[in-house]
C-alpha cells in the first residue's frame, strides 16, 4: 500500500502537465488487459500442440495535434504455450487462463488409417455478420477434428483492429478443433498472421492415412522485388514437389491454397497462371483434391483425375459463377458455404453445405489404394 499513493500523485502531476484530467489518467492506469482472441490450437501433431490466445494490452491513440485522438488502435500480444509428449488419436481438454472462456479441447491425429472429419472454408473477411452465420452453420452441421481456412481471414492483415473481430466470430469453433490456416492476398503477408497463428507460409502434415499440404499462393505479396518473388515461388514449388513425391504412400493427398487454378468467375479467368502451371504436378503425383478460396462462392471441377474445390463463401461479398469452364465443371453455385470432409478408411466424402445446412453437393471418392472389382 505504501507505494500506491506516491504513484498516484506522480500520475496526477504528469496528467496536469499533459493537460489531461486526473480522472482520465487514473482510468488509463487501471489494468486494461483483456483476451480478444482464442484460445485456439495450432501446429497439432500426433505428439504435440500449441495453444494460443491474443491479449489486448491497451489502446494507442494518434492525431494530427497533441492530445487529439483522430485514430485509435488496439495493442495486441499473441500468447502461446506448447504441450509435448501427447498421445496420437486422443482428445485433450485444456485451460490456459482462468474462467470458462479459458477452456477448450482438441484432438491429436491418429497414426494410421481411421475415421476423421475436417471442415474447409475461407474468405471470412468483410461481412462479419455473415462470417458468424457460417461459423454457426459449421458448429451445427459438422463435428470436425480439425479445420482448414483457405485464406483472406481478415480484410487487411496489417490492421490490428480486424483480428479481434475475426477471433470473436470464430471463438466457439476454434476452441473445439485445431486450426490450420493459409495465406490470402488480404493478409498482405502481414507479420500479425504469422505471429497470431504461429504459422509458416507453407507447410504439410499427416492426419491418419491422409497427407495435407498448405501453400502460399499470394505471390504478389510474398516479397519486395520480382526477383525475390520468383525465387520464393521456385523454392516453394520445389518443396511442394518433394513433399508430394514423399507422400505417395498416403491414401489421400490434399492441397490447400488461396488462389484457384481455374474459375467460373469470368472476369477472373486466367488471373492465376502460377497456380494453373502446377496442374501437371498435381496430376503426376496423383493429388486427390485441391481446396482453394479467393472466389466467394462454391466451385467443383474434375480434371485428369484431380478434384478442384473452391470454397470461398465464408463472409466476403459473393461473386457470380457466370462462365463455368467447359468439360471439367461438376458444380458451381454463388452462395455462402463450407465443406465437410469425412475420411473413413479408404473412402472420403466431400459435402458442400450452405450455413443453414442445405447440401449443395455430395461427392464420394474411393482411394486408389482400395482393391478394384475384377472384371468378369
Q: Of 78-86, 97-105, 146-154, 236-244, which segment contacts Fe ion by CB under 5 A?
A: 146-154
Is residue 296 within the footprint of Fe ion (CB under 5 A)? no
Cβ distance to Fe ion smaller for residue 211 or 294: 294
* Candidate ranges 177-185, 230-238, 272-280, 364-372; the one touching Fe ion (CB under 5 A): 177-185
Q: Residue 56 contacts by C-beta under 8 Å, 6 or more apart in sequence?
A: 32, 33, 34, 35, 36, 74, 75, 76, 77, 164
For residues 181 to 210, the per-residue mask of contacts with Fe ion, x marking binding by CB under 5 A and - elsewhere, is ---xx-------------------------
Nearer to Fe ion, 41 or 316 (CB): 316
Separation of alpha carbons 218 and 215, rounded Å: 9
Nine cell digits for residue 162: 480486424
**Cis amide bond preceding 39, omega within 30:** yes
Per-residue binding letters, 275-294, with Fe ion (x by CB under 5 A): -------------------x
What does the alpha-carbon distance between residue 160 and residue 192 come to, in Å, rounded to a whole number? 8
Which residue, 104 or 184, is less far from Fe ion as judged by CB? 184
Nearer to Fe ion, 181 or 184 (CB): 184
Which CB atom, from 185 or from 334, has the smaller least distance to Fe ion? 185
Is 152 among the residues that bind Fe ion (CB under 5 A)?
yes
Closest to Fe ion by CB, 124 vs 185, is 185
Q: CB neighbours (10 Å) of residue 53?
A: 24
Write phi, then psi, for 306 (nearest 5 degrees): -105, 130
Alpha helices in 153-278 (DSSP H): 162-174, 191-197, 226-246, 273-276
Looking at 179-187, 196-204, 339-347, 355-363, which segment touches Fe ion (CB under 5 A)? Answer: 179-187
Number of other CB atoms surrounding residue 212 within 10 Å: 22
Residue 9 CB-half CA count within 13 A: 5
Nearest to 171 by CA among 125, 131, 122, 121: 131
**CB within 8 A of 313, min separation 6: which ones?**
121, 122, 123, 134, 296, 297, 298, 335, 336, 337, 338
Buried b (16+ CB within 10 A) or exposed e, 311-331: bbbbbbebbebeebeeeebeb
Considering beta carbons, is residue 218 or 351 the nearer one to Fe ion? 218
Closest residue to Fe ion, judged by C-beta, is 294
Using the rule CB under 5 A, give the single segment among 42-50, 151-159, 245-253, 300-308 that binds Fe ion: 151-159
CB of 311 to Fe ion, least distance (A): 13
Check residue 217 for interaction with Fe ion (CB under 5 A).
no
CB of 163 to Fe ion, least distance (A): 17
Q: How many residues bind Fe ion (CB under 5 A)?
A: 4
Residue that is written with C-alpha cell 473412402 in the block: 347
Rg of the chain over all Cα atoms, to the nearest angstrom:
23
Considering the complex, what minimum distance in angstroms separates the CB of residue 83 from Fe ion?
Answer: 33
Establish if 216 lies at the interface with Fe ion (CB under 5 A). no
Please say which residue, 184 or 355, places its beta carbon nearer to Fe ion.
184
Q: Which residue ranges make up the site for Fe ion (CB under 5 A)?
A: 152, 184-185, 294
Amino acid at each position: 500500500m505504501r507505494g500506491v499513493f506516491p504513484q498516484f500523485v506522480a500520475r496526477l502531476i504528469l496528467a496536469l502537465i499533459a493537460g489531461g484530467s486526473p480522472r482520465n489518467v487514473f482510468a488509463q492506469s487501471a489494468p486494461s488487459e483483456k483476451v480478444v482472441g482464442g484460445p485456439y490450437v495450432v501446429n497439432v501433431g500426433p505428439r504435440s500442440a500449441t495453444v494460443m490466445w491474443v491479449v489486448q494490452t491497451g489502446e494507442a491513440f494518434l492525431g494530427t495535434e497533441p492530445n487529439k485522438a483522430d485514430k485509435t488502435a488496439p495493442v495486441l500480444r499473441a500468447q502461446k504455450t506448447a504441450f509435448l509428449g501427447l498421445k496420437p488419436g486422443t482428445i485433450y481438454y485444456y485451460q490456459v487462463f482462468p474462467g470458462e472462456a479459458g477452456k477448450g479441447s482438441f484432438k491429436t491425429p491418429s497414426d494410421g488409417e481411421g475415421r476423421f472429419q475436417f471442415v474447409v472454408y475461407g474468405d471470412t473477411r468483410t461481412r462479419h455478420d455473415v462470417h458468424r452465420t457460417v461459423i454457426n452453420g459449421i458448429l451445427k452441421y459438422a463435428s470436425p477434428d480439425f479445420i482448414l481456412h483457405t485464406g483472406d481471414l481478415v480484410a487487411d492483415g496489417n490492421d490490428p483492429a480486424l483480428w479481434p473481430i475475426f477471433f470473436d466470430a470464430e471463438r466457439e469453433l476454434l476452441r473445439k478443433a485445431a486450426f490450420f490456416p493459409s495465406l490470402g492476398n488480404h493478409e498482405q503477408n502481414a507479420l500479425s498472421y504469422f505471429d497470431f497463428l504461429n504459422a509458416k507460409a507453407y507447410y504439410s502434415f499427416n492426419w491418419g492415412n491422409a497427407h495435407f499440404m498448405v501453400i502460399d499462393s499470394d505471390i504478389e505479396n510474398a516479397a519486395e522485388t520480382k526477383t525475390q518473388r520468383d525465387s520464393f515461388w521456385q523454392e516453394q514449388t520445389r518443396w511442394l514437389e518433394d513433399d508430394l513425391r514423399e507422400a505417395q504412400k498416403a491414401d489421400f493427398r490434399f492441397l490447400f491454397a488461396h488462389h484457384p487454378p481455374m474459375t467460373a468467375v469470368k472476369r477472373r479467368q486466367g488471373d492465376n497462371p502460377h497456380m494453373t502451371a502446377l496442374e501437371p504436378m498435381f496430376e503426376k503425383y496423383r493429388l486427390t483434391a485441391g481446396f482453394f478460396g479467393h472466389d466467394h462462392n462454391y466451385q467443383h471441377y474434375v480434371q485428369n483425375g484431380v478434384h478442384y474445390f473452391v470454397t470461398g463463401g465464408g463472409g466476403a461479398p459473393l461473386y457470380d459463377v457466370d462462365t463455368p469452364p467447359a468439360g471439367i465443371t461438376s458444380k458451381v453455385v454463388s452462395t455462402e458455404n463450407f465443406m465437410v470432409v469425412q475420411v473413413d478408411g479408404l473412402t472420403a466424402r466431400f459435402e458442400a453445405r450452405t450455413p443453414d445446412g442445405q447440401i449443395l453437393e455430395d461427392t464420394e471418392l474411393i482411394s486408389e489404394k482400395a482393391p478394384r472389382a475384377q472384371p468378369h
